Amino acid sequence: MSHTGGSDISVRDTRTSAGTTRSDDERFPVDNPGVEHEPPRWTDADPDAGRSAYTFVVGCFALVPVLAIAFVVIYFAVPQDVFIDVGSNHYMAQHLLLGLTLGLAILLIGVGAVQWARLLMDDTERTEERHTAASSAETRTAAIDIVYQGLQETNLGRRKLIGRSLLGALGVLVAPAAVLLADLGPWPTARVRAETIERTIWGEGVRLVNDVTYEPILAADLEIGQLVNAEPENLQEFHGHHLQVERAKAAIIVVRMDPNSITIPESRSSWHVNGILSYSKICTHVGCPISLWEQQTHHLLCPCHQSTFDLGNSGVVVFGPAARSLPQLPISTDAEGYLIATSDFTVPVGPSYFERDSRNDYEDGDA
């Protein structure tokens, strides 16, 4: 079928004197009555309507220079610190006026042009014949012949190796092209991973500090039910993108809960200070910082995808798309009573990745 292209459209049209087209194709049981002529437009029938349409179009175009001049004047004359209140909206005056004048000016050109075409230009519908997308059979044969003839002229038939070696040569060029991209980033080998995504700047003795003021956190100051967003004290040593990279992993939340109302497994009995527990703030789903704290249930909800973790039960997932519990940071207090970490996280924080060994993460019921 394909070699004939669209020629299998078998509608055979024969025009009758009345303009009706009799179709011999069984697919169309009703004869084509031909294009119906629309009644004359009101702008053609009524000279007054025609004149007012004319006035409208010219009016549209005539307003554009006015608006354009207004735009230029506003640009230079209206200061940027003047505001306009419209209802409950607070607009920068210059921005609003520039936008209104420019928008209306552009819009009026469009409205004028479209109305001109709709109401005043000749509105005779025209019929254009359509041809099948395919070329004629002769053209296609001729094209194939040309390709074949060209192939003959290359003598590839007798000297096959030219073609094959050329294809091979072109194929091999992919290698240099691909290798050029090998420096797009460091290679995440096991060693590189261990130094990057599998470690944070937490370590033994690093103080927990408030993430805004960098003040160290006194264990005694925390009340039951309170949550503090915290960072490691040594985060202040980082700047620029290094700061962002470390902050993206090291952010934690510190919560104090009634020790009698929470479950602390045997293995983590030394990780808390009188019910003060610390967890990674970075969601194990796709890495959003989790911050919505439900004080009564001890649940922590991620605002991005609503994964919910139970901080009263070693951070296990209670709802949502996250699959792993929140890593807990082992903490203690120093001589002055400030909260400190006793080590880095015991598992990598943040979202999963293929090479992640997830056998050591806490699961509900672990000792």
Partner 1 sequence: MAKPAALSEERTVPPTEPERVPGPVLKRLAGPTAWADERTGAAGLGKYFLRKVFPDHWSFLLGEIALYSFVILLLTGVFLTLWYKPSMAEIEYEGSYQLLRGVAVSEAFASTLDISFDIRGGLLMRQVHHWSAMLFVAAMFAHMLRVFFTGAFRKPREINWVIGVALLSLGLIEGFAGYSLPDDLLSGTGLRFVDGLIRSIPVVGTWAEFFVFNGEFPGDLIISRLYMAHILLIPGILLGLIAAHMALLVYHKHTQYPGPGRTDKNVVGYPLYPIYMAKAGGFFFIVFGVTVLMGATMQINPLWTYGPYNPSQVTAGSQPDWYMGWVEGAIRIMPGWESHIGGTTWSWNIFLPGVGLLTLLFVLLGVYPWVEAWLTGDKREHHVLERPRANATRTAFGVAGITCFSLFMIGGGNDIIAVMFNLSLNTISVVLRWAVFLGPVLAFIITKRICIALQRTDQERLLHGSESGVIQRSPVGGYSEDHRPISQGEAYTLTHHNEYPPLPAEGVSKRQLQARRWFYGDNMSKPTRAELEAAASHGHDGDGHDGDGHGGNGHEVAGRESRELSSSRD
Q: How far is the CB of 303 from partner 1 (least distance, A)?
A: 4
Nearer to partner 1, 264 or 327 (CB): 327
Distance (Å, rounded) from C-alpha 177 to C-alpha 170?
Answer: 11
The rounded Cα 134 to chain-centroid distance in angstroms is 40
Determine if 225 is a binding residue for partner 1 (CB under 8 A): no
Q: Which of 234, 291, 332, 346 binds partner 1 (CB under 8 A)?
A: 291
Q: What is the smallest separation between the CB atom of 254 and partner 1, expressed in angstroms? A: 13
Q: Which of 217, 281, 298, 310 binds partner 1 (CB under 8 A)?
A: 281
The whole-angstrom separation of Cα 113 and Cα 118 is 9
Q: Which one of residues 3, 17, 39, 80 is an interface residue with partner 1 (CB under 8 A)?
A: 80
d(CA 53, CA 47): 10
Candidates 4-12, 150-158, 172-180, 260-268: pick the segment binding partner 1 (CB under 8 A).
4-12
Q: Which distant-in-sequence residues (6+ apart) come within 8 Å of 78 by Cβ? A: 93, 94, 97
First to last CA, the chain: 71
Q: Which of 285, 312, 327, 345 binds partner 1 (CB under 8 A)?
A: 285
Q: What sign does the CA torsion over 295, 296, 302, 304 have?
A: negative
- Site size for partner 1, by CB under 8 A? 118
Nearer to partner 1, 148 or 187 (CB): 187
Q: How far apart are CA 233 and CA 203, in angstroms?
A: 11
Which span sits near partner 1 by CB under 8 A: 25-33, 47-55, 254-262, 338-346? 25-33
Structure tokens at 365: 């019921």
Using CB under 8 A, which of 59, 168, 205, 303 touches partner 1? Answer: 303
CB 230 within 8 A of CB 219: no
Cα separation, 274 vs 199, in Å, equals 27
> How wide is the angle at C-alpha 193 spanned by C-alphas 365 and 342, nearest 5°?
55
Nearest-angstrom CA–CA distance, 140 and 138: 5
Which one, of 280, 225, 278, 279, lies nearest residue 256 by Cα? 225
Report the site for partner 1 in 155-214 (rule: CB under 8 A). 181, 184-188, 192-193, 196-197, 211
- Among 98, 156, 224, 227, interactor with partner 1 by CB under 8 A: 98
When the beta carbons of 164 and 305 are compared against partner 1, the nearer one is 305
- CA 149-153-159 angle, 5° bins: 120
Name residues contacting partner 1, limited to 39-68 (CB under 8 A).
none
> Can you tell me which of 61, 68, 304, 343 binds partner 1, judged by CB under 8 A?
304
Q: Is 227 in the site for partner 1 (CB under 8 A)?
A: no
Residue 154 Cβ vs partner 1, minimum distance, rounded to whole Å: 26
The answer to whether 325 and 346 are in contact (CB under 8 A) is no
Query: 36: alpha, beta or left, given left = phi > 0 and alpha = psi -120 to 50?
Result: beta
Of 159-167, 170-178, 263-271, 347-355, the segment contacting partner 1 by CB under 8 A is 347-355
- Closest Cα to residue 311, out of 363, 232, 257? 257
Residue number, 5 or 203, with CB nearest to partner 1: 5
Tell me the residue type at 177: A
128 forms part of the interface with partner 1 (CB under 8 A): yes
Q: Using CB under 8 A, which of 3, 17, 26, 157 touches partner 1?
A: 26
Compute the least distance from the CB of residue 321 to partner 1, in Å: 5
Return the residues of window 311-330 that contact partner 1 according to CB under 8 A.
Answer: 317, 319-324
Complex with partner 1: residue 216 or 287, whichever CB lies closer: 287
Q: Tell me the window of 153-161, 258-266, 270-278, 279-287 that interacts with partner 1 (CB under 8 A).
A: 279-287
Q: Among 63, 68, 92, 224, which residue interacts with partner 1 (rule: CB under 8 A)?
A: 92
Helix (H, G, I), strand (E, B) or coil at 180: coil
